[in-house]
Amino acid sequence: MQITEPEITEKTAAKLGITAAEFEKIKQNLGRTPNFVELSIYSVMWSEHCSYKNSIKWLKTLPREGKRLLVGAGEENAGLVDIGDGIACAFKIESHNHPSAIEPYQGAATGVGGIHRDIFTMGARPIAALNSLRFGNPDTNHMKGLVRGVVKGIGDYGNSFGVPTVGGEVFFDDCYNQNILVNAMSVGIVRVGETVSACADGPGNPVFIVGSRTGKDGIHGATFASADLHEESHEDLPAVQVGDPFQEKLLLEASLEAIKTGAVVGMQDMGAAGITCSTSEMSAKSGTGMRIDLSKVPTRQANMHAWEILLSESQERMLIVGKKGEEQPLYDVFEKWDLECVQIGEVTDTGMLEYFYEGEKVAEVEAETLVLGGGAPVYDREFTKPAYMAEVSKFRLSKVDHADDIKAAARKLFSLPNLVSKRWVYEQYDSMVRTNNQSTNAPSDASVVRIKGSKKSLVVTVDCNSAYVHADPYVGAMIAVAEAASNITCTGGVPVAITNCLNFGNPYNPEVYYQFVNAIKGMGEACRKFNTPVTGGNVSFYNQSQVGSKTEPVFPTPTIGMLGILEEQSHLMTLGFKNEGDAIYMLGNVHNDLNSSEYLRNVLGIKYSPAPQFDLHEAFEMQQLVRQLIRKNWLCSVHDVSDGGLFTNLMESAIASGLGFNIETVDTFRKDCFLFGESQSRVVVTLPASRDDEFQNYLVNQNVSFTKLGEVFGNSAMIDNENFGSVSEWKAIFDNTLGEKFG
C-alpha cells in the first residue's frame, strides 16, 4: 500500500488521544507506521468510549448470568431477557453527556435516537423510553437553557418517533453545573428466536449501508466523549450529531421488515465511531474481515475525506450483512420505505478490514486488534480513597441542631427541585402513544408497560441517588440497585435484570477511580442479592469540567435501569391513598438518621455526611415481605420511603389521591429524623382498618419491624395533632414549582 501522507509521529497520535505506548502497540499490530486514516481508526476504537480500556477489568466482576438471559452481557447491541409467553425484552441505557452539555437539543435528541436503534437493530420493537437527567443549579440562566434544550430534544425526538417516555428521574446539584448528564434508556419486545445478531458471518456476503446519508456531523464523537470538558469545548461542536426522528421511524419499520425477509445475516447500528465501529465489531465477532469501498457510501457533502466518512457519526444509519444472492429483497424493502440501501463491500475470510477510496486502499487493519475483548488495550488504574471522605467521617448528628419550626422545615424541604413534581418535564413527552402505558392516571413507584397479547406487563425504572454514592461509593451503589428493585416490588413486579450507565470523572484521577471501583463492587453485591444480572450498559468517564485551573468531577453516578415483570394484573399497586379511614403503616426500622438526605444537604446546608443507614439483607427481606402482602390482596397502596423521607412519601400519596393523613411521630426519635431522614428499606402501606389485628399479627409472626402511623383522613396533612396545611396547597407547590422556575 502506498503511503503518500506526511510521516505520522507520536505528536500526531497524541492529538488524537493516543498515548506513546499505544502508538507503539499500533505500529506492532501493523508491522509499520500507520497512515492518518489508520491512526484515526485506532483513535476512536481505542477511546474509552468504545474500548472501555479503563473499566473492562472491573466490569467483568459484575454478575452477568441468569436463567432468563438470552444473550450474554455485551454480546449484542442490548441485553435480551426471556419474559415468558414466547416474548423477549431487549433493553439498554446509554449516556450522551458531553454532546448534551455543548448542544443540549441535538445532544439529547440523538441520545434518544441512538439507544432506540440499539433495540431495533436486534429485531425488537421499542415500546418504552426512560431517561435519567442530572443538571446543575437550576436558578442560573445557563442551566435553564440546558434544561430547556435537553427536555425539548428528548420530547421532540421521542414524540416524533412514536415511542412513549414512561418514566425517569431529574436531579439537580451544583456538581453538574458544567457537565450535565443525559442518560437514555429504551425497552423493546420481540418474539423469542426472531432476533438478529450484530455479526458478519459468511465470506462473500454483501455489506450494505442503509438509512441516512453520511455527513460531517459527529466526527470524532467517541474521542470527544473520552475527554474532559473545558472552556473551549464549544469548538468541538462538529462532534455533536444531528438527528431526524422521522427518518428513524422509517428506518425502524424498514429494518424490522428486512429481518422478516430472511435475507439479513447481521445488523448493527452506526453509533459511536460510525462505519469504523460497525465494520470492526461485526467482523471481530465473526472472525471474518471486510472489504469496504468508501466511495460508494452516500454522502451529504461533497469531497469528504476517507477518514471523515469512516468516523462520521451521522444518525439513522445501519450496517447490514446480507445473504449473497438475496440482495434484491433488501433493496425492495428499503426502496418501499424511501431509504437508501447501498452495497459498500463484502465479507472476507482474512480477518482484515480493508478500506478503499476512489480506487486506492486507504487503510488495512486487523479487526481483532481494534475491539473490546480483542486487541484493544486494558488498563489497571491506581485508586485511592478521596480526601473529602475524611470530612464525611467527621459528621455527627449530635452536632446538628433540631429544627425550631418543623412545619417551616417541611415546606422548605418539599419545595426543593429534587423533590417537587417533574410535571413540567414529563408533560413535554408523549407518554400515551401506542396506548401501552399503565401508569399515566394512577402513579406507581415504577412505570408499568402493557404487553399486548399477554397477561403480563413490564415494570421499568431508572434510579440512582448520586449524593449517596458520593458519600460512600460502595454503599451508595448498593442503594441504587436496592431502590430500583424496591420501586419494581412496590409496583407489584418482580425484579429481573439491570442495565447500567456508569457516569464518573477522569479515570486517571486515583480518587475518581476509587469511586468507580467501589461502586462496581457495591452494585455487583446488590445485583447478586436481588438476582438481577447485568445485561450490559455504558461507561461514561471524563464527566468533569475545567474552569481555569480548577477541575471538578461530577458526583459518581451509576444509574441503574431495571427491568421487572408484573405476572398478574391483580398484583399492580399504586402509591395514592384509596379510602378515608384506611390505616397507614410504615414497614421497616426507623433510625435517628439524616445522612446525605435532601433535608441535611439542601435545607440545612451540610455538605458532607455518610450514606443513609442501609443493610442489604434487610432490604432484600423487606421486598420479599411486600411481595407476599401484595399477593394476599391486603394492601390498598404501597410507596417506598426514599428521597425526602417519610414526609415526602406521605405527601406524594396524598397528592396522588386528594386524600389527607393524620399521623403521629414516635417520640423516641428526633422529629426531623423521623419525618425527613432517608434511612433505607422502609415502605409505607395502607390497608382497611378492619384488617388491623390480622395485619399486625402477621407482621409480628414474620418478625418484621413496623410502625402504625395513623390513618388516611380528610384533605389535610395532620402530624401530631398539628395541621400542616391542605393537600391542595401542597399539591400546588408540588406541581408548579419546576414550571415556574423554567417557564
Over residues 438-490, the pLDDT tens digits come to: 666 789 999 999 998 888 999 999 999 999 999 999 999 999 999 999 999 99
Record the cell numbers describing residue 136, joined without a space. 446543575
d(CA 63, CA 80): 15
Give the DSSP letter string of 367-426.
Answer: GGGTSTTTTS----------TTHHHHHT--GGGSPPPS-HHHHHHHHHTSTTTS--HHHH
Determine the average pLDDT of the residues in 276-304: 95
**Nearest-10 crossing angle of helices 645-657, 406-414:** 70
SS3 content of the chain, % helix, strand, coil (to 5): 40, 25, 40
Residue 73 has what pLDDT?
84
- CA distances to 185, 386, 485, 704, 740 from 526, in Å: 21, 23, 10, 21, 39
Cα Rg, the chain, nearest whole Å:
26
d(CA 66, CA 12): 45
Known catalytic residues are 49, 96
d(CA 67, CA 48): 31
Per-residue pLDDT at 231 exceeds 60: no
Question: pLDDT grade, residue 617 (50/70/90)?
Answer: very high
> In degrees, to the nearest 5, what angle opens at C-alpha 522 toward C-alphas 521 and 525?
85
d(CA 507, CA 582): 52
Residue 281 has what pLDDT?
95
d(CA 683, CA 585): 8
Three-class SS of 139-207: CCHHHHHHHHHHHHHHHHHHHHHCCCEEEEEEEECHHHCCCCEEEEEEEEEEECCCCCCCCCCCCCCEE
> In degrees, to the nearest 5, what angle opens at C-alpha 637 toward C-alphas 633 and 642?
130
Residue 672 has what pLDDT?
97
Mean pLDDT of the chain: 93
Residue 75 has what pLDDT?
86
Sheet holding 360-366, edge to edge: 264-269, 317-322, 206-211, 340-348, 289-293, 352-357, 360-366
Per-residue pLDDT at 708 exceeds 50: yes
Determine the average pLDDT of the residues in 701-723: 96
Lowest-confidence range among 26-35, 427-436, 706-715, 728-737? Answer: 427-436
Residue 1 has what pLDDT?
42
Residue 705 has what pLDDT?
96
Question: pLDDT grade, residue 301 (50/70/90)?
Answer: confident
- Digit-coded pLDDT (tens) for 569-580: 999 999 999 999
**Model confidence, pTM:** 0.94
Per-residue pLDDT at 113 exceeds 70: yes
Nearest to 51 by CA among 22, 80, 27: 22
Residue 435 has what pLDDT?
54
Show Cβ contacts of residue 6 under 8 Å, excluding neighbours closer than 6 positions.
Answer: none
- CA distances to 49, 54, 61, 377 from 517, in Å: 18, 11, 10, 18
d(CA 59, CA 146): 31
Residue 224 has what pLDDT?
46
- Digit-coded pLDDT (tens) for 343-372: 999 999 999 999 999 999 999 999 999 998
- CA distances to 74, 235, 236, 240, 545 from 232, in Å: 34, 6, 8, 15, 11
**Residue 487 near residue 461 (C-beta atoms within 8 A):** yes
Determine the average pLDDT of the residues in 215-239: 56
d(CA 252, CA 416): 40
Per-residue pLDDT at 144 exceeds 50: yes
Residue 82 has what pLDDT?
95
* CA atoms 414, 418, 424, 428: torsion sign: negative
- Percent of all residues in the chain with a pLDDT value above 70, rounded to a whole number: 94
Q: Is 51 helix (H, G, I), strand (E, B) or coil?
A: helix
Question: pLDDT grade, residue 227 (50/70/90)?
Answer: low
Give the DSSP letter string of 208-260.
Answer: EEEESPB-STTTTHHHHTTS-EETTGGGGGGGS----HHHHHHHHHHHHHHHH
> In degrees, to the nearest 5, what angle opens at C-alpha 334 toward C-alphas 109 and 250?
30
Phi-psi region of 496 (alpha: psi -120 to 50; beta: other; left: phi over 0): alpha
**Residue 500 near residue 57 (C-beta atoms within 8 A):** no
d(CA 568, CA 613): 33
Nearest to 417 by CA among 734, 97, 743: 734
d(CA 409, CA 397): 17
Question: pLDDT grade, residue 229 (50/70/90)?
Answer: low
Show Cβ contacts of residue 70 under 8 Å, excluding neighbours closer than 6 positions.
Answer: 80, 81, 82, 88, 192, 195
How crowded is residue 432: how many other Cβ atoms within 10 Å of its Cβ? 11
Residue 237 has what pLDDT?
44
- Digit-coded pLDDT (tens) for 2-57: 444 567 899 999 988 899 999 999 999 999 999 999 999 999 999 988 899 999 99
